[in-house]
């Protein structure tokens, strides 16, 4: 008996909804290589075979890189450059040669052994960065072995015109680019993470994708109707007619709502009783600027500057960073751009620092963000100089993350002034009045907000990490992640204190974490007198619409009542009830899926 509407939970890698027939895609892997003995005299000719194979693979990867650049722009070439750097690594040559010398086997076996050693070294089972590196190495290994053994890849067997959902163990950037042209409407992968190269490409191509579903790539699913709900991170297997119909209607509603948001992108973000809220966008990649342009926004409230470091296998130069920043600044045309200095470490480990970060027991509380910058002023000052240079062309603000004490902020300001002095000596123009701010995301900084506010021009609250640290909970741990909650009374009091501290020093305060895009949290934040909300571009439309339907005075009264509550359940219920009073038709008005990933309202309402 076929089970209908079977739901499997995964991780949202790219939002959206897709319906189609399941197609199992198994990347061609070479598991067996015939043994062949060689003599010492054969080693040079075997290395020449490897060199020729590598050059052929290099051309393949360069073609994929050209396709990516043509569809998405030059910045995305770095996704393939990561694989090219592995392919051309001379250390691998040395190890392959040594293995052949010691074991007298031909080059395919030696190459496979060496590459597998690298995979085993990186396979800690936890780090998303290392898992991504493993996929890169595995793909390069298989490409080279296919050439060495003269094996070909069978094309994807899709002869129909009907939409398909591609199910696979893992995907490479090349797979995404090639397969997205073959009626593929969605991706489901056993491996991968939200920051993986394939996830970045899927989001850029607007193809819904779910990752992290174990053992999903099995033949029993082939041909089944599937629904990929990239907002909830759910895969629905064999939906009944009613469910499929509802999702098709939902897709139509989302399209209609999206058109409405685009048409109203220039509406003022002001409450019904005149309270103005600045609405900005969080940006991780240049391609997301399209969303900012499509749905409006008064600038960039958070630019996560890590991606150039994450995609490259060497430190980006000052000029590379400057080109990246100035492109955004010019695009925004004098609208504010808040550039956050690098927040490497934790879940964003970069290859250029992997030796220092490799053996941390608790990376989220270890060597990361401003701690790396203060320990490595060469990296820090290079980035600050690039940001300052970009400030000459628009309204740039620079923000320091993970500040935990006043001394760290003072050291960061010292390096900021050093970068300015160097630029003056080099006669390079920059905005002498470039503003600086901090991202408050640890309890010590929250408690010292009144002292920190006196040293900066603006404050932003990173509610994701702040909630995690305030509640002493790893939100990635299934056994305790229920403790993680924005609606906890301690979070209300903490955010209130930060906002009051900022306003005491006439410093504006914003929120750039998940709370800024969560419908219930928006009520709370506006009632607490927040100055700015910064959200993912996809949420600019619904957040603007919500702000325009709220009353600041009523929300202030609501917050007074919330501050008297002791339990998060009471806070949640009060926020939910008031939200429904403001927007009784909220599902029709905002689209239930568009806000589902940021709120429990859909399940509770």
Cα 75 to Cα 201: distance, rounded to the nearest angstrom: 12
Q: Which residue has the tokens 């974490």?
A: 513
Active-site annotation holds for 197: yes
Contact 516, 535 (CB under 8 A): yes
Cβ proximity of 484 and 473 under 8 Å: yes
Alpha helices per DSSP H over 402-539: 406-425, 443-447, 449-452, 463-470, 489-504, 519-527
Counting other chains too, the contacts that 418-422 makes at CB distance below 8 Å and 24 or more residues apart are 418/377, 418/381, 419/381, 419/384, 419/385, 419/388, 420/388, 422/381, 422/385
Answer yes or no: are the C-beta atoms of 366 and 353 closer than 8 Å: no
The beta strand positions in 91-237, using DSSP E, are: 164-168, 184-189, 209-211, 225-229, 234-237
d(Cα 429, Cα 476) in Å, to the nearest integer? 44
Angle of CA points 64, 66, 72, to nearest 5°: 100
Catalytic residue among 197, 313, 415, 486: 197
Question: Active-site residue 313, yes or no?
Answer: no
Strand ranges (DSSP E) for 151-277?
A: 164-168, 184-189, 209-211, 225-229, 234-237
Give me the catalytic one of 482, 486, 512, 560: 512
Decide: helix, strand or coil at residue 451. helix
Instruction: Please name which of 420, 459, 418, 415 lies closest in space to residue 436, comparing C-alpha atoms.
Output: 459
| Distance, CA of 192 to CA of 178 (rounded, Å) | 18
- Pull the structure tokens for residue 162: 């009907």
Pairing, β 225-229 against β 17-25: antiparallel
Could you give the residue numbers annotated as active site?
A: 197, 512
């Amino acid at each position: 008996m076929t089970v209908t509407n079977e739901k499997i939970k995964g991780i949202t890698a790219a939002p959206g909804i897709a319906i189609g027939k399941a197609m199992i895609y198994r990347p061609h892997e070479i598991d067996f290589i015939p043994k062949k003995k060689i003599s010492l005299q054969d080693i040079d000719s075997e290395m020449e075979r490897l060199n020729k194979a590598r050059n052929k693979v290099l051309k393949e990867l360069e073609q994929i890189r050209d396709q990516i650049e043509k569809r998405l722009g030059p910045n995305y070439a770095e996704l393939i450059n990561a694989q090219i750097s592995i392919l051309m690594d001379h250390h691998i040559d040395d190890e392959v040669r040594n293995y052949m010398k010691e074991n007298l086997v031909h080059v395919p076996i030696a190459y496979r052994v060496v590459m597998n050693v690298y995979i085993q070294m990186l396979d800690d089972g936890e780090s998303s960065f290392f898992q991504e590196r493993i996929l890169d190495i595995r793909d390069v290994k298989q490409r080279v072995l296919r050439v060495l053994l003269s094996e070909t890849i069978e094309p994807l067997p899709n002869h129909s015109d009907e939409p398909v959902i591609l199910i696979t163990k893992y995907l490479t950037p090349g797979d995404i680019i090639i397969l997205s042209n073959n009626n593929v409407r969605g991706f489901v992968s056993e491996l991968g993470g939200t920051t993986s190269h394939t996830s970045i490409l899927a989001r850029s191509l607007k193809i819904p994708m779910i990752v992290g579903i174990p053992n999903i790539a099995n033949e029993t699913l082939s041909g089944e109707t599937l629904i990929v709900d990239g907002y909830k991170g759910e895969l629905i297997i064999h939906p009944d007619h009613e469910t499929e119909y509802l999702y098709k209607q939902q897709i139509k509603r989302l399209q209609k709502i999206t058109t409405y948001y685009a048409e109203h992108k220039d509406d003022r973000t002001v409450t019904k009783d005149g309270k103005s809220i600045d609405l900005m966008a969080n940006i991780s990649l240049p391609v997301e600027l399209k969303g900012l342009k499509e749905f409006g926004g008064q600038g960039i409230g958070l630019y996560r500057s890590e991606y150039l470091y994450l995609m490259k296998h060497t430190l980006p130069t000052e000029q590379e960073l400057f080109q990246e920043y100035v492109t955004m600044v010019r695009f925004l045309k004098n609208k504010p751009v808040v550039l956050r200095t690098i927040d490497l470490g934790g879940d964003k480990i970069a290859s250029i620092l992997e030796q220092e970060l490799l053996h941390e027991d608790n990376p989220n509380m270890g060597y990361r963000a401003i701690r790396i910058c203060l320990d490595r002023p060469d990296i820090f000052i290079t980035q600050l100089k690039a940001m300052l240079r970009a400030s000459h062309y628009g309204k740039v603000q620079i923000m320091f993350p993970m500040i935990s004490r006043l001394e760290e902020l003072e050291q960061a300001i010292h390096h900021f002034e050093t970068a300015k002095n160097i630029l003056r000596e080099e006669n390079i123009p920059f905005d002498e009045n470039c503003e600086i701010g901090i991202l408050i995301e640890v309890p010590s900084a929250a408690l010292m907000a009144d002292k920190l506010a006196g040293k900066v021009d603006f404050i932003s609250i990173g509610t994701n990490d702040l909630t995690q640290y305030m509640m002493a909970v790893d939100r990635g741990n299934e056994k305790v992640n229920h403790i993680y909650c924005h609606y906890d009374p301690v979070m209300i009091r903490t955010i209130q204190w930060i906002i009051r501290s900022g306003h005491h020093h006439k410093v504006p305060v914003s929120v750039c974490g998940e709370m800024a895009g969560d419908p219930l949290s928006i009520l709370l934040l506006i009632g607490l007198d927040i100055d700015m909300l910064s959200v993912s571009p996809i949420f600019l439309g619904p957040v603007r619409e919500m702000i325009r339907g709220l009353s600041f005075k009523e929300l202030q009264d609501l917050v007074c009542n919330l501050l008297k509550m002791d339990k998060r359940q009471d806070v949640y219920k009060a926020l939910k009830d008031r939200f429904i009073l403001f927007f009784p038709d909220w599902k029709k008005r905002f689209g239930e899926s568009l806000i589902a990933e940021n709120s429990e309202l859909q399940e509770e309402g």
